[in-house]
């Protein structure tokens, strides 16, 4: 297992689901982790639970990733607690509707949380990481970015945008030894997929060579690899975690 005992990380959207699994794996590896989530009380509860287990520790902070000042406060929470080595842009939600039913607000809200939030996080992390000439950022995209899904014009656009952001930022920050990579999960067992209709879930399962939904901790394993020195020569990479779906 990686030893991150002298490392500090920010994981957005980490009160539950994939973000919590990433935060939990980082705490297992000894890191100090800031759990930044819109659900502040849930983030604080999760952080207290992770800290009591150790060996790393966690701090829960209420944060709306679309707010520049909230992102600045999260950055300060990290630097006040040791520094800023890793940043994971994970926060998000879906608002699936066909275009016929999707309002401009539905479109903008999803672009805002995934893409604008991802850009604000990447920019804030880069400012500190470039100065210290060390750091790694991981953006949580989706295979929806690659293949599109009906009812997800907002989500697919946001997640595809995140890939462009990842590659452009990787090119800008490489000279400072700051790496920026992305993962594209497929169907992962979290609250987000509970919103799927049973027949839609069944159809998706038939499309997965490994014939099952993935777990949040399987996504966390890949994210930790990308953050670690084992991935020292990886930047601008996009790793699909989909059980082979849409390979
Ligand atoms: N579950 C999947 O199958 C799947 C597949 C591909 C990609 N993803 C992506 O993985 C990430 C995590 O998804 P999940 O399934 O764990 O979802 P989840 O709903 O379990 O967790 C998302 C978290 O983000 C938080 N959040 C929402 N808006 C926020 C905001 N404005 N600021 C801060 N926090 C906010 C929520 O409070 C929640 O805790 C998302 O970016 C999602 O698009 C998920």
Q: Annotated catalytic, 155?
A: yes
pLDDT level of residue 2 (50, 70, 90 thresholds): very high
User: Ligand 1 center to residue 191 CA distance, Å?
Assistant: 9
Domain count, the chain: 1
**Averaged pLDDT score across all residues of the chain:** 97
Among 92, 113, 241, residue to substitute to test ligand 1 (most atoms within 8 Å of Cβ):
92
Read off the pTM.
0.98
Q: pLDDT value at position 188?
A: 96
Is 247 inside any structural domain? no
Is 3 inside any structural domain? no
pLDDT by residue (tens digit) across 192-236? 788 788 898 899 899 999 999 999 999 999 999 999 999 999 999
pLDDT by residue (tens digit) across 100-155? 999 999 999 999 999 999 999 999 999 999 999 999 999 999 999 999 999 999 99
Is 246 inside any structural domain? no
Give the count of beta carbons closer than 10 Å to the beta carbon of residue 207. 14
Asked whether the predicted pLDDT for residue 246 surpasses 80, the reply is yes
**What is the extent of the structural domain holding 90?**
8-240
Q: pLDDT value at position 98?
A: 98
Up-side HSE of residue 145: CA atoms within 13 Å toward CB?
A: 24
| Cβ 15 under 6 angstroms from ligand 1 | yes
CA-to-CA dists, residue 138 to 93, 111, 128, 231, 235, angstroms:
18, 18, 16, 12, 10
User: Ligand 1 center to residue 94 CA distance, Å?
Assistant: 8
CATH number (domain holding residue 132): 3.40.50.720
């Amino acid at each position: 297992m990686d030893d991150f005992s002298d490392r500090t990380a920010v994981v957005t959207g980490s009160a539950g689901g994939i973000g919590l699994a990433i935060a939990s794996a980082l705490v297992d590896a000894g890191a100090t982790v800031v759990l930044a989530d819109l659900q502040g009380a849930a983030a604080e509860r999760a952080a207290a639970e992770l800290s009591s287990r150790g060996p790393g520790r966690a701090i829960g902070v209420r944060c709306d990733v679309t707010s520049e000042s909230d992102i600045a406060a999260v950055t300060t929470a990290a630097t006040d607690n040791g520094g800023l080595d890793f940043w994971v842009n994970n926060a998000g939600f879906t608002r699936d509707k066909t275009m016929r039913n999707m309002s401009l607000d539905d479109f903008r809200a999803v672009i805002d949380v995934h893409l604008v939030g991802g850009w604000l996080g990447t920019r804030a992390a880069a400012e500190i990481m470039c100065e210290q000439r060390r750091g790694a950022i991981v953006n949580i995209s989706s295979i929806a970015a690659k293949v599109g899904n009906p009812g997800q014009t907002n989500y697919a656009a946001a997640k595809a945008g995140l890939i462009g952001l990842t590659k452009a930022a990787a090119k800008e920050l490489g000279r400072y030894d700051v790496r920026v990579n992305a993962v594209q999960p497929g169907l992962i067992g979290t609250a987000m997929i509970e919103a799927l209709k049973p027949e839609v879930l069944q159809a998706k399962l038939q499309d997965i060579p490994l014939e099952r939904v993935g777990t949040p901790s399987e996504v966390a394993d890949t994210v930790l690899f990308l953050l670690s020195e084992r991935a020292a020569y990886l930047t601008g990479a996009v790793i699909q975690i989909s059980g082979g779906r849409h390979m």
